[in-house]
Amino acid sequence: MKGLIQRVSEASVTVDGRKIASIGKGLLLLLGVERDDSPSEAKELCRKILSYRVFPDEQGRMNVNVQDAGGSILVVPQFTLAADTRSGTRPGFSLAATPGLADALYREFLLSACNQMGRERVQKGEFGADMKVALTNDGPVTFLLEVARKH
pLDDT, tens only, 51-107: 999 999 999 999 999 999 999 999 999 999 999 999 999 999 999 999 999 999 999
By residue range, what is the domain housing residue 83?
A: 2-146
The total domain count for the chain is 1
CATH of the domain at 55: 3.50.80.10
Has residue 18 been placed in a domain?
A: yes
Has residue 151 been placed in a domain?
A: no
Nearest to residue 125, comparing CAs of 46, 8, 3, 29? 29
Has residue 49 been placed in a domain?
A: yes
Q: Which residues are catalytic?
A: 78-80
Report the phi/psi class of residue 118: left, alpha or beta, with left for phi > 0 and alpha for psi in -120 to 50.
left
pLDDT band at 151 (very low <50, low <70, confident <90, very high): low
Q: Whole-prediction pTM value? A: 0.94
